[in-house]
């Protein structure tokens, strides 16, 4: 196996679905633009370039998950159920896709490794903890303001530097823009 194939065979891929990406963008749009008035689904869809039919299902799930309130009528639409600084990215993601890191659809307590792979349990716990440490720390308000917590900015900067140092990296234009935010 080659490098990336070997990594994929042994480690779970932390994958963010399009549905979660759209949900986070929709919630950010509501926090930034909605303010004290509900936003219509088509306004959210246009503001974030999300297919309306897909967005409607996401908004229903977020409403059922009690992160949003929906209002009917001509002045109706959607609004955050709580202030943006009280909603974490992890909450949004769990409502849409369930656990943040899913390993074979099992709880870590259910896994039983032995022999030379026994330490994998610790690796999976560390992966889950790392993902949580970012997503449970960042709020929708942080996202909208662009003011991410320092540990998250540091991790993003570390990632960017490692990508820039990779052979064949094509991030030159991104690198020029990112340090201002990070």
| C-alpha dist (Å) from residue 180 to 120, 138, 141, 145 | 38, 19, 19, 14
CA angle 110/112/117 to nearest 5° reads 140
Mean of pLDDT over the chain: 83
Residue 29 has pLDDT above 80, yes or no: yes
- Greater model confidence, 142 or 100: 142
Please write the tens of the pLDDT for every residue from 53-93: 999 999 999 999 999 999 998 888 999 999 999 999 999 99
- The predicted-structure confidence for 98-112, as pLDDT tens digits, reads as follows 877 766 656 666 777
User: Which one, of 124, 101, 108, 112, lies nearest residue 20 by Cα?
Assistant: 101
Q: Tell me what pLDDT residue 92 has.
A: 96
pTM of the entire predicted model:
0.79
Q: What does the pLDDT average to over 33-46?
A: 88
Q: Which residue has the higher pLDDT, 134 or 163?
A: 134
Quote the tokens at residue 22. 């759209």
Domain architecture of the chain: domains with CATH = 1-146 (1.10.10.10), 148-182 (no CATH)
């Amino acid at each position: 196996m080659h490098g990336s194939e070997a990594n994929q065979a042994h480690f779970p891929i932390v994958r963010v679905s399009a549905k979660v990406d759209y949900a986070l963008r929709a919630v950010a749009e509501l926090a930034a633009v909605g303010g004290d008035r509900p936003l219509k689904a088509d306004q959210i869809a246009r503001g974030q370039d999300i297919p309306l039919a897909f967005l409607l299902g996401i908004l229903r799930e977020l409403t059922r998950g009690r992160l949003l309130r929906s209002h009917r009528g001509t002045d109706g639409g959607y609004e955050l159920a709580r202030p943006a600084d009280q909603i974490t990215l992890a909450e949004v993601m769990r409502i849409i896709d369930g656990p943040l890191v899913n390993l074979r659809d099992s709880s870590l307590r259910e896994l039983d490794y032995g022999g030379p792979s026994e330490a994998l349990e610790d690796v999976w716990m560390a992966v889950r903890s790392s993902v949580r440490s970012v997503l449970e720390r960042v709020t929708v308000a942080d996202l909208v303001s662009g003011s991410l917590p320092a540990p998250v900015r540091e991790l993003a900067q570390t990632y960017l530097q490692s990508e820039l140092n990779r052979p064949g990296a094509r991030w030159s234009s991104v690198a020029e823009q990112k340090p201002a935010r990070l």
